[in-house]
Amino acid sequence: MPLHPQARALLSRFAAQRRPAVTEVPLTVARASTADWISLQGEPEPVGPVTDTFVPGPAGQLPVRVHRPRTATGRRPLLVYFHGGGWITGGLEVVDRPLRRLANATGAVVVSVGYRLAPETQFPGPVEDCHAALRGVCARAADWGADADRLTVAGDSAGGNLAAAVCLMARDRGGPRIGAQVLIYPITAPAAGSPSPSYREHAENCLLTRDMMLRYWEHYAPGAAAAPHPYAAPLYADDLGGLPPALVLTAEYDPLRDEGEEYARRLRAAGGEAETVRYDGLIHGFFWACEMFDAFGLALGDITRTLDRHAQIR
């Protein structure tokens, strides 16, 4: 399909702002500019109580934000979310408004994790943070009216990578038991030498570029292309059996499109359940720009159906 008008509008907006690519600015500037996305998210949707707290991590306390749905009775399913940002940017604030909507739409208690960022903390530090945070959140789920036995993990982009890796770690390390994984345009393989046609077709001019992905990988896992570890690059795991059912959401005009869809195919080939939904005409980042994209509402519906099936949401 042609580029969607809403995607074109976002690209035009960033072009008018002369917004530099993350590859062109110091890391401190790139991190500060992540806040620009909040202006694309509309007003914060009212939810139930929101709690900022901490859970233990491998190198200290990790911040988490708990979003309880606006109307919910009884113990609710638990969804633990890892934000995107190429492992080097992002945080609890930039996903706060999308996750408020996610909590209300699904009826789940949604917990966002603030893991350590690269390059200060390279692989495996961030993914170890996420697995530790998952355990810590599950241990306290009852405090927030959530049921850790009805657990979903989710994330966007680099957060999708971390969610997929945490599923592998939970399988390999004996828990927690995860009922479903929701991977929103996930990174699943190193950018250097990628054979994916989408990396050639959408290497530039569609918000996320190949050069940006190369920089992200250089900061997070510099040697991943030569020797990809499955917890860094889940697509290269030798064994993808025994993993939770997956929903993989991709965007047509995204260099990560093919590796996300290939990951779902490999999950199915290993005997697992994996559904792929491609949003035609869209670009990477639509989940963060939730007020601008009708597809955000479609994504909420797709995620809700997945939780209905695998997390007994109702």
Residues with a known catalytic role: 157, 254, 284
Instruction: Tell me: cis bond preceding 46? Omega within 30 of 0 counts.
Output: no
Q: Residue 147 and residue 80: Cα distance in Å, rounded? A: 12
Determine the 3-state secondary structure of 108 from DSSP. Answer: coil
Residue 10: which of 255, 299, 291, 214 has the closest Cα?
A: 291
The answer to whether the beta carbons of residues 67 and 103 sit under 8 Å apart is: yes
Q: Which residue has the tokens 């992200």?
A: 216
Give CA separation, 129 vs 113, 121, 133, 156, 231, in Å: 9, 10, 6, 17, 12
Q: Residue 67 and residue 46: Cα distance in Å, rounded? A: 10
